[in-house]
A = this chain, B = another copy of it.
């Protein structure tokens, strides 16, 4: 029996941050508005959850100009991918008996 709930990563216990990380596991990079629409979030909500993940070093933020418009894109960092996979491992172990 494995019930080590404390192996779950606090950074990923929120649905929005789960969604962001999932999106960034599948997509090398995703821009602000695509992510916002995909997860159905308000601007502020997305921005703040990204900031949280960025502070942990899990997400990299890239700002550039495309044509004449600013474009902010996000990608998962190496340690972000690692941390997320570890979180999913812990989750799986917890839930494997379904």
Q: A residues near B, CB below 8 A?
A: 1, 3, 5-6, 8, 13-16, 18-19, 22-23, 25-26, 38-40, 85, 88, 91, 94-95, 97-98
Contacts and interface: CB of A to CB of B under 8 A. Distances in A.
B88 A22 contact: no
Given A13-B13, A13-B14, A97 B5 contact: no
A5 B39 contact: yes
A24 to B, nearest CB: 11
Total copies of the chain: 2
B94 A18 contact: yes
Given A8-B15, A18-B95, 6 more contacts: A5-B15, A5-B19, A5-B40, A8-B18, A26-B97, A88-B98
Tell me what chain A mostly uses at the interface: helix, strand, loop, or mixed. Answer: helix
Contacts of A88: 95, 98
A3 B22 contact: yes
